[in-house]
Amino acid sequence: MAKVSSDQLGAEPIGKLLIRQAVPASIGILVMSLNILVDTIFVGNWIGSIAIAAINVVLPVSFFIAALGMAIGIGGSSIISRALGADHKEKALKTFGNQITLTLLVTISMVVLGLYYVDALIPAFGGKGAIFDPAKIYYIIVLYGVPFLALCMMGNTVIRAEGKPKFAMIAMIIPSIGNLVLDYIFIYVLNWGM
């Protein structure tokens, strides 16, 4: 899974390029998705079932906003790939700048709306009764980090568009390993909860 140059993207057979691009992307997304499993194991064993319920209430909101970042990334990456293939680096850079701006505008707007409607959103996703308060606390913390997650998801698609699928995969795996280590330290060793 070596680096795929822009020249190779325009010259090599599609099947070979598809495998070189898709396998690292799939591995990166799989490892990142395992974060949810790891979080659930730690939370379930050392915090409790109400905390797991709180996480599951918040998950759809964070996934939705991260998906917006990925959608912006995928759309812009198509333009970037074509611009790089045509040796229009200025257009590629301008598109990337527009992607960053749009991702920040959309996600910050979602954060503001999410904070304003927090008391309506938590019950709408199932956070009622004993689950409401922990879900609300977790939701607010997660919400502040979601623009960064969306930027990472957007940026990852741009890295792949530049012909660097292995680097994009590593950029998804490192935070997953960091999550595992920090889960162990904060939840198990320090007993800080979620």
> What mean pLDDT is predicted for residues 82-103?
93
Q: Residue 194: which pLDDT band, with cuts at 50, 70 and 90? A: low
Indicate if the pLDDT at residue 49 is higher than 60. yes
**Helix (H) or strand (E) run with residue 173 in it:** helix 165-183
Indicate if the pLDDT at residue 2 is higher than 70. no
For the chain, percent of residues with pLDDT exceeding 70: 94
> What mean pLDDT is predicted for residues 144-163?
90
Indicate if the pLDDT at residue 15 is higher than 90. no
pLDDT of residue 7: 60
pLDDT digits (tens, 9 = 90+) for 57-90: 998 888 888 888 889 999 999 999 899 888 899 9
pLDDT digits (tens, 9 = 90+) for 38-48: 888 999 999 99
Q: Which residue has the higher pLDDT, 137 or 17?
A: 137
pLDDT of residue 32: 82
> What mean pLDDT is predicted for residues 112-124?
95
For the chain, percent of residues with pLDDT exceeding 90: 56
Specify the 3-state DSSP secondary structure of 119: helix
Task: State the pTM of this model.
Answer: 0.82
Q: Residue 10: which pLDDT band, with cuts at 50, 70 and 90? A: low
Indicate if the pLDDT at residue 181 is higher than 90. yes
